[in-house]
């Protein structure tokens, strides 16, 4: 399983103290079928615990996800910041998910080298 975060997502996550380990653990849970919501177009919502808050007071992440292949953390927000995303935002995220999940290896490598994508190391324990 290859897991990435976009540069914009990484900036948000760093600002909220959301560590790669928490994202890796979230992906392990998603691989086990523990997904909070399927939003269509291979976009899923997954709650992730923020340090000192747990999942209930934590963050909501939107992930372009293809079981057993790739996951891209593309958007995140704290539960107390907003309730959900708009239909227009969801439509844009579905288009982005389709593009990211179909990137050939050469494009992934180029995006990583350019700093647009950051790969997250994940093992089956989520660390």
- Rounded CA-CA distance 118/5 in Å is 5
pTM here is 0.90
The answer, yes or no, to whether residue 101 has pLDDT greater than 90, is yes
For the segment 70-93, what is each residue's pLDDT rounded down to a tens digit?
A: 999 999 987 777 777 889 999 999
Distance CA 88, CA 104 (A): 27
């Amino acid at each position: 399983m290859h897991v990435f975060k976009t540069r914009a997502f990484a900036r948000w996550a760093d600002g909220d103290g959301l560590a790669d380990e928490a994202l890796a653990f979230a992906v392990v849970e998603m691989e086990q079928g523990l997904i909070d919501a399927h939003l269509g177009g291979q976009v899923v919502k997954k709650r992730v615990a923020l340090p000192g808050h747990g999942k209930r007071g934590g963050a909501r992440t939107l992930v372009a996800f293809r079981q057993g292949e790739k996951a891209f953390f593309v958007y995140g927000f704290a539960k107390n910041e907003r309730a959900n995303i708009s239909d227009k935002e969801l439509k844009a995220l579905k288009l982005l998910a389709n593009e990211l999940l179909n990137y050939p290896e050469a494009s992934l490598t180029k995006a990583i080298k350019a700093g647009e994508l950051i790969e997250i190391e994940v093992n089956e324990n989520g660390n």
